[in-house]
Structure 1
Amino acid sequence: MDHGIVTFLTDYGIAPVRLGQAVEERGFGSLFLTEHTHIPASRLTPYPVGAAEPQPLPRYYSHTFDPFTALAAIAASTRRIGLGTAVSLVSQHHPITLAKQAASVDVLSGGRFELGAGPGWNAEEMANHGVDPARPLARMLEHVAAVRTIWTEDEPEFHGEFVDFDPIWSWPKPARPLPVLIGGVGVKVLDRVLSHGDGWLPLPLYPIDFLRTRIAELRERAGRHVPVTLYGADPEKLTDYAEAGVDRVLFELADHEDPADALRQLDLLADFVS
């Protein structure tokens, strides 16, 4: 089982290049970054979503670097670790631009990038991007389909409900078939993984036995080994995750203003996998 790091990389914390190098130096297999273009000041959407008693939204949500820009810098200063988004809010991107960004990071990294995709949860943030908060999943899936078309065809065109363009030229293409990991834990998430994804990126919200059942169902329906990456894994449960069929865990690096604190947390996490 591979062990990686996921974090909200901010403008007040550890710098992208230093973090990437530290993750690689400690033997982790990958580094994934979150994404929020902005956070509306209205704060109408509760945090966490569905909470009976909403909590203040953590500061880091509104201070994150653009993940593609940060990952490009990390790609240039590392050699081995996999890089990815967990997750990119693909509904909030124009697919032509997103295809270019993701392919560019993949080529610059020598084929180390994976696109983790999710619909997002903040309704006002979606609305500011022109996304109907009532239909983010439908738009996300169509954007993924459009991006794949651009990646794989020399003169791609796409005509859908949300995305419409005649034949275009767009390079670079990814260095290899670029994996798309579908995030989520909802009732129908496996349908989305099977229809539009190359892997599943769940949160650790299921009991271990149910996670095992879901992974087995996914692979039985697919007729192949679908990779599963668990976001926010508990380092005390690595054996349970492996037995459930998880291929990679991402430890969440907590928010730190002092880079030295971030490095100390990485050292502690590295002890679990050494």
Structure 2
Amino acid sequence: MTTRRGLFVAPFDALADPRVVGNLAAAAEEAGWDGFFVWDHLQYGARVAAVADPWTCCAAVALRTERLVLGPMVTPLARRRPQVLARQAASLAVLSGGRFVLGLGLGDDWVGEFSAFGDEPDPQRRGRMLDEGLEVLTGLLAGERVDHDGEHYVARDVRFRPAPSVPIWLAGRFGNRAPVRRAARQNGFFVIGLDGPDDLDAVTSGLAEHDPPPGFEVVVDLRPEQDVAPWLDRGASWVLTRIGPYDLDLDEARRVIDAGP
């Protein structure tokens, strides 16, 4: 299995400008990277002052590149309306010529990402919202007729077009079983919090219990200073290099990107 290399970029502070993000993505494509994924946050604590909208950033990346896989990594579905998200994802899939990946997850309220705005702070309830929201979202993205009246979401006898292919990667922390179950029903698993490459054995064996579909992606991210070599050919199909979240410097980001994968 060939491991693809991507960038995992926080659009914060010095990078909190979709034009800058688009420029970095163009440089990344030139340098030979395979993917460019942006964090989706509303705020990120006292050390981060400025935050850019990831969807606008994704549009900029799509327009400035021709080959890179791109997407938000990851969007907390519990603070979104699945029908609006479906329209946005489909449009970005069309804009990018089929290169868009939708990263989804539970999200975390450690800096009031949910509670500060009156969104659901309880992770168990957000988990139920994620499961139900995925049912609505995947139906709409597939162009199916959706008739859903649930605890959290309603979609009464609707069908969306266009319906381009939109792979979904579910994120989850290593060691938690629910994210593995959710991810195996979709197209990929973005694993957060691995201690080392040996942990990938547990990830792949856990996924195998749920029979993921062909072409399923296992995605990990590393800091720029980490040695990539031990992670290659260990079961991860994508290894991302993280840029951010703190003390971001545009020149340093360019240095990492220009060095290539």
TM-score (norm. length: structure 1): 0.82
Any conservation in 2 of the 1:20–1:78 contact (CA below 8 Å)? yes
- Answer yes or no: is 1:37 the counterpart of 2:42: yes
What is aligned with 2:100? Answer: 113
Q: CA deviation at 1:246?
A: 0.5
What is aligned with 2:153? Answer: 163
- Answer yes or no: is 1:267 the counterpart of 2:255: no
What is aligned with 2:202? Answer: 213
Any conservation in 2 of the 1:232–1:249 contact (CA below 8 Å)? yes
Q: CA deviation at 1:243?
A: 3.3
Q: CA deviation at 1:58?
A: 5.3
Q: By percentage of residues, which structure has more strand? A: 2
Going from structure 1 to structure 2, the CA distance change for 1:74 and 1:94 (only over 3 Å counts) comes to same
What is aligned with 1:251? Answer: 241
Going from structure 1 to structure 2, the CA distance change for 1:233 and 1:246 (only over 3 Å counts) comes to farther
Q: CA deviation at 1:260?
A: 2.4
Q: CA deviation at 1:28?
A: 0.2
Q: CA deviation at 1:213?
A: 2.3
One-letter amino acid of the counterpart of residue 222, structure 1: D
Q: CA deviation at 1:148?
A: 0.7
Root mean square deviation of aligned Cα:
2.3
- Answer yes or no: is 1:24 the counterpart of 2:24: no
One-letter amino acid of the counterpart of residue 106, structure 1: A
| C-alpha separation in 2, matches of 1:11 and 1:101 | 25
Any conservation in 1 of the 2:139–2:145 contact (CA below 8 Å)? no
Any conservation in 2 of the 1:4–1:31 contact (CA below 8 Å)? yes
Going from structure 1 to structure 2, the CA distance change for 1:129 and 1:117 (only over 3 Å counts) comes to farther
**Secondary structure at the counterpart of residue 233 of structure 2:** helix
- Answer yes or no: is 1:3 the counterpart of 2:8: no
| C-alpha separation in 2, matches of 1:241 and 1:182 | 20
The match for 1:181 among 155, 162, 169 is 169
Any conservation in 1 of the 2:28–2:258 contact (CA below 8 Å)? no
Any conservation in 2 of the 1:149–1:158 contact (CA below 8 Å)? no
TM-score (norm. length: structure 2): 0.85
One-letter amino acid of the counterpart of residue 267, structure 1: D
- Answer yes or no: is 1:59 the counterpart of 2:50: no
What is aligned with 1:71? Answer: 58
Gap regions ≥5 residues in structure 2: none
Gap regions ≥5 residues in structure 1: 40-56
Q: CA deviation at 1:257?
A: 5.3
| C-alpha separation in 1, matches of 2:144 and 2:210 | 32
One-letter amino acid of the counterpart of residue 171, structure 2: G
Going from structure 1 to structure 2, the CA distance change for 1:12 and 1:236 (only over 3 Å counts) comes to closer
Identity %: 26
Q: By percentage of residues, which structure has more helix? A: 1
**Secondary structure at the counterpart of residue 73 of structure 2:** strand
